[in-house]
């Protein structure tokens, strides 16, 4: 019987937070007793190099509604039949099924990746009354889950206030130092004027402003490297039609090795999310990955991010909806390479000191050790 199962119907089996950080961390301690259940139709993998056993519960359902009903039920049945002692899930659509697992005697952990109520209330494609009702329902459902489930894990401090302190643990999605070795900030050639962005390419993440800014920079060396994918074909067509596209190197979704290589050569990393309610309270992983790679950052001037960037002295803060301000920050990086490099070194030092997965992983291990001790005590009392 597998002791620990992480399960998801949404995320890929290679998801960095789930697979590379959380599940692999647990597998190093409880080798052979940790599995990841996914729903991608790619089959099982029982001999992965990281020690994680992957079970595929079948091809994903087509359409969100079918995934939330048939797909979720299929995942529930697979986990229920496996009877783990601890089940740890990552998708809010699995909440009802997770609570059923808890009622059947399995200790269940809910990993809350996003502030779902806040996110739903501000979905642009939803009518305001519908968005309000959905946000209200999601908030009530998560409150019930907090009382029923064994533990909740949140990724940012602002999400903790919605739950009892006894039930919630903050586990920030910081980068692993092992993935960004010290060579990233040692003496080596960075390409002057190369600015990099990692992640999904959508309007509210600043693609239009980045494009306009790269057009405005007077230095001909200025280039924008995009590592991600557009979620809207029309938006992609609009960006490709701009004059600034000649200064873009579009790499699409890239391997982690490619990401690290790109960051090792860039002059600065861009994280210019718009001031939506969801983003202003977020800890964007790209911000910390830039810092881990020794890059100065050009980031949105949000209060939470200001604490991080100004606190570490690792970058420049701008209005993310002001292309002139973004272009000015880019030009400053080009004109002041030594000072920019010093910002990058300070960012790396802050990651080494505080913003790293190695420190966060101890919280995860302590949680599991506590639960395992409780399970052992119960087993000894009821042989």
What confidence category does residue 133 fall into, taking pLDDT thresholds of 50, 70 and 90? Answer: confident
Residues with Cβ within 8 Å of 284's Cβ and at least 6 positions away in sequence, in order, are 199, 271, 273
- Ordered strands of the 248-250 beta sheet: 248-250, 223-227, 194-198, 268-271, 297-300, 315-318
The backbone region for 228, taken as left when phi is positive above 0, alpha when psi lies in -120 to 50, beta otherwise, is left
Rounded Cα–Cα distance for residues 139 and 141 (Å): 5
Least confident interval from 114-123, 271-280, 331-340 = 114-123
Token digits of residue 206: 């600043």
CB burial class (10 A; 0-12, 13-18, 19+) of residue 303? exposed
Q: What pLDDT is recorded for position 143?
A: 87
Q: Positive or negative CA dihedral for 313, 293, 285, 154?
A: negative
Half-sphere exposure of 280 (CA within 13 A, CB side): 11
Q: What pLDDT is recorded for position 159?
A: 85
Rounded Cα–Cα distance for residues 272 and 201 (Å): 11
Task: Identify whether the C-beta of residue 38 lies closer than 8 Å to the C-beta of residue 54.
Answer: yes
Q: What pLDDT is recorded for position 283?
A: 93
User: What is the percentage of the chain residues whose pLDDT exceeds 70?
Assistant: 96
Rounded Cα–Cα distance for residues 201 and 109 (Å): 31
In order of their start, the domains of the chain are 4-173+357-381 (3.40.50.2000), 182-353 (3.40.50.2000)
Residue 159: enclosing H or E segment and its boundaries?
Answer: none
Q: What pLDDT is recorded for position 189?
A: 67
Token digits of residue 201: 């390419």
Rounded Cα–Cα distance for residues 86 and 231 (Å): 35
Mean predicted confidence (pLDDT) in 280-292: 94
Q: What pLDDT is recorded for position 1?
A: 64
Q: What pLDDT is recorded for position 346?
A: 95
Residue 94: enclosing H or E segment and its boundaries?
Answer: none
DSSP for residue 9:
S
Closest by CA to 310, choosing from 292, 323, 297, is 297
Closest by CA to 18, choosing from 4, 28, 8, is 8
DSSP for residue 267:
S
Mean predicted confidence (pLDDT) in 342-356: 95
DSSP for residue 17:
I
For residue 224, is pLDDT > 60?
Answer: yes
Say how many C-beta atoms besides its own lie within 10 A of residue 128's C-beta.
10
Rounded Cα–Cα distance for residues 302 and 311 (Å): 13
Task: Identify whether the C-beta of residue 295 lies closer than 8 Å to the C-beta of residue 347.
Answer: yes
- Summarised one tens digit per residue, pLDDT across range 2-42 is 799 999 999 999 999 999 999 999 999 998 899 999 999 99
Q: What is the CA radius of gyration of the chain?
A: 22
DSSP for residue 162:
G
Mean predicted confidence (pLDDT) in 119-129: 72
For residue 204, is pLDDT > 50?
Answer: yes
Distances (CA, A) of 68 to 22, 83, 173: 24, 22, 25
Average pLDDT score over the chain: 91
Closest by CA to 196, choosing from 184, 187, 183, is 184
What confidence category does residue 200 fall into, taking pLDDT thresholds of 50, 70 and 90? Answer: very high
Strands 151-154 and 168-170 turn out to be parallel
Query: 201-236: string of b/e by CB count within 10 Å (b at 16+)?
Result: bbeebbbbbbbbbbbbbeeeebbbbbbbebeeeeee
- Summarised one tens digit per residue, pLDDT across range 151-199 is 999 998 888 887 766 789 999 999 999 888 766 554 456 889 999 999 9
User: Interhelix angle for 207-216 vs 323-335, to 10°?
Assistant: 50
The whole-model pTM stands at 0.88
For residue 147, is pLDDT > 50?
Answer: yes
């Amino acid at each position: 019987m597998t002791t620990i199962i992480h399960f998801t119907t949404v995320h890929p089996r290679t998801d960095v937070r789930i697979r590379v950080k959380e599940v692999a961390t647990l597998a190093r301690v409880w080798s052979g007793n940790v599995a990841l259940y996914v729903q991608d139709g790619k089959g099982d993998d029982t001999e992965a190099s990281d020690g994680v056993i992957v079970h595929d519960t079948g091809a994903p359902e087509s359409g969100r509604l079918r995934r939330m009903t048939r797909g979720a039920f299929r995942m529930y049945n697979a986990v229920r039949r496996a009877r783990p002692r601890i089940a740890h899930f990552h998708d809010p659509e699995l909440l009802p099924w997770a609570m059923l697992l808890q009622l059947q005697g399995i200790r269940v952990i809910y990993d809350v990746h996003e502030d779902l109520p806040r996110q739903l209330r501000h979905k642009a494609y939803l009518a305001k009354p519908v968005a309000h009702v959905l946000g209200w329902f999601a908030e009530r459902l998560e409150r019930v889950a907090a009382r029923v489930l064994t533990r909740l894990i949140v990724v940012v401090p602002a999400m903790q206030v919605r739950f009892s302190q006894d039930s919630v643990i903050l586990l920030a999605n910081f980068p692993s130092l092992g993935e960004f070795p010290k060579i990233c900030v040692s003496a080596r050639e960075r390409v002057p004027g190369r600015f990099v962005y990692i992640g999904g390419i959508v309007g509210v993440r600043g693609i239009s402003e980045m494009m306009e800014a790269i057009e405005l920079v007077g230095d001909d060396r200025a280039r924008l490297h995009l590592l991600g994918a557009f979620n809207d074909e029309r938006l992609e067509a609009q960006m490709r039609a701009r004059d600034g596209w000649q200064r873009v190197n579009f790499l699409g979704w890239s391997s982690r090795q490619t990401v690290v290589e790109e960051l090792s050569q860039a002059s600065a990393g861009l994280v210019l999310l718009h001031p939506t309610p969801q983003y202003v309270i977020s800890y964007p992983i790209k911000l910390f990955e830039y810092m881990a790679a020794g890059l100065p950052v050009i980031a949105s001037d949000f209060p939470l991010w200001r604490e991080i960037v100004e606190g570490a002295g690792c970058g420049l803060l701008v209005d993310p909806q002001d292309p002139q301000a973004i272009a000015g920050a880019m030009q400053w990086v080009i004109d002041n390479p030594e000072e920019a490099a010093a910002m990058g070194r300070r960012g790396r030092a802050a990651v080494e000191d505080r913003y790293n997965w190695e420190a966060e992983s101890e919280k995860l291990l302590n949680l599991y050790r506590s639960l395992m001790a409780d399970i052992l005590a119960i087993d000894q009392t009821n042989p």
